[in-house]
Amino acid sequence: MVLAMKVLVNGVGNIGTTLLQVLCTHRELLDIGAIYAHKATVRPWDVPQLERLKNLGVIIVGSEFPGQARLSEVADRIDYVFDAGQSGLGVSRRESYDGFRSLVGASAQGTESAFGTPYVVGLGMDVSTARYVHIPSCNTHSALAVLRTLSDGDFDDIVAADFVVARRCEDVGNHDRLVAGNVLARHLDPVLGTHHAIDADAVLAVLGKQVPIQSSDITTPSQFLHATRFSVQLASAPTEEQVRDRISRAPYVATTQIFDSNKVFEIGRRFGLGGRLYNQAIFADGNLLVKGHTVSGWAMVPQEGNTILSTLAAYLQQTHSVDDARAALDELAESLLLGEL
């Protein structure tokens, strides 16, 4: 185990800023001695936010932030990298991380599937010997959480699963991808569909599981939460009471009686650290369809938040003993996750 880790968050956007707030809040629990953050392009309106991060104890690096060291000047101090850059940047930057002399490990978020070993917390995965780890997207996390929950952790019980992801078009703080109407996503694989099932299939393959899964994607004119409509066919035929029991016992998920995503989003803004929700999926309670072998329903998906625990669980596995990593993760989950919303 390496104590007093020096960590770098490379990318200070939605995911990076959320991650930095969690790292600062739980610095002692995570055995972190120094937190660096690199933002390649600093616009005038970014400066106040970076100053706030500095006030939390974050060391800002980058040539565009006045008076700060360049990333190359601190690279050899870094023990661990959380790459939170835009799509494609993580994979392109991985080679540069090989030159960080003290590097123990690194992770990249979202679409960076070529970055390293895929990892999602709650599936019994072990990346303790991996140097590079890929944390799949928020909707992939949600799909896997639904499968794990409804099958009660027995993926062999799943006969088939279909997901329709209703994506919010953009985070409330951005405007680059706003849409005026529903936009369909192209199916990238003739069997699996969109990248959500493709990435979930890659994660399950690491576990030695082959689950018939398929996903589609529609982007909606909303800036709040994603939602997933699922239909899972099981070899067993659980009753509705058994399904509800599985949801109540499942780790990293929550339930809500609220049907409006803006209201669920507001709960995260009020009570979540940094205004975020960190549960992998939030099942719409009272809206399940259980008939024979098939369970269908809806789950809301907290984007930019529900991958954070996987990110930190991977970090803990790569840098701590098994027992210390598990204990720290349990404490983090207790602090970050909400139960019923």
Contact 223, 172 (CB under 8 A): yes
Whole-number CA gyration radius for the chain: 20
Same fold, 5-136+307-336 and 138-301: no
What pLDDT, on a 0 to 100 scale, did the predictor assign at position 3?
56
What pLDDT, on a 0 to 100 scale, did the predictor assign at position 95?
92
Nearest to 311 by CA among 1, 18, 6: 18
| Measured distance CA(13)–CA(56) in Å, rounded | 16
* Chain segment 251-303, per-residue pLDDT in tens: 999 999 999 999 999 999 999 999 999 999 999 998 999 999 999 999 999 98
Contact 285, 248 (CB under 8 A): no
Interval 305-323 mean pLDDT: 96
* Chain segment 131-178, per-residue pLDDT in tens: 999 999 999 999 999 999 999 999 999 999 999 999 887 777 777 778
- Read off the pTM: 0.93
What pLDDT, on a 0 to 100 scale, did the predictor assign at position 1?
47
Nearest to 82 by CA among 13, 128, 129, 174: 13
Opening angle at CA 311, ends 162 and 97, nearest 5: 120
* Chain segment 182-240, per-residue pLDDT in tens: 999 999 999 999 999 999 999 999 999 999 999 999 998 888 899 999 999 999 999 99
Contact 307, 109 (CB under 8 A): yes
* Chain segment 79-117, per-residue pLDDT in tens: 999 999 877 788 889 999 999 999 999 999 877 888 999
| Measured distance CA(274)–CA(160) in Å, rounded | 37
Q: Is the pLDDT of residue 2 over 70?
A: no
CATH number of 138-301: 3.30.360.10
Q: How far are the Cα atoms of 114, 169, 268 from residue 172, in angstroms, in the given order?
A: 29, 9, 13
* Chain segment 16-75, per-residue pLDDT in tens: 999 999 999 999 999 999 999 998 888 888 889 999 999 999 999 987 776 678 888 999
Domain boundaries, the chain: 5-136+307-336, 138-301
| Domain 5-136+307-336 CATH (choose: 3.40.710.10, 3.40.50.720, 3.40.50.300, 1.20.120.10) | 3.40.50.720
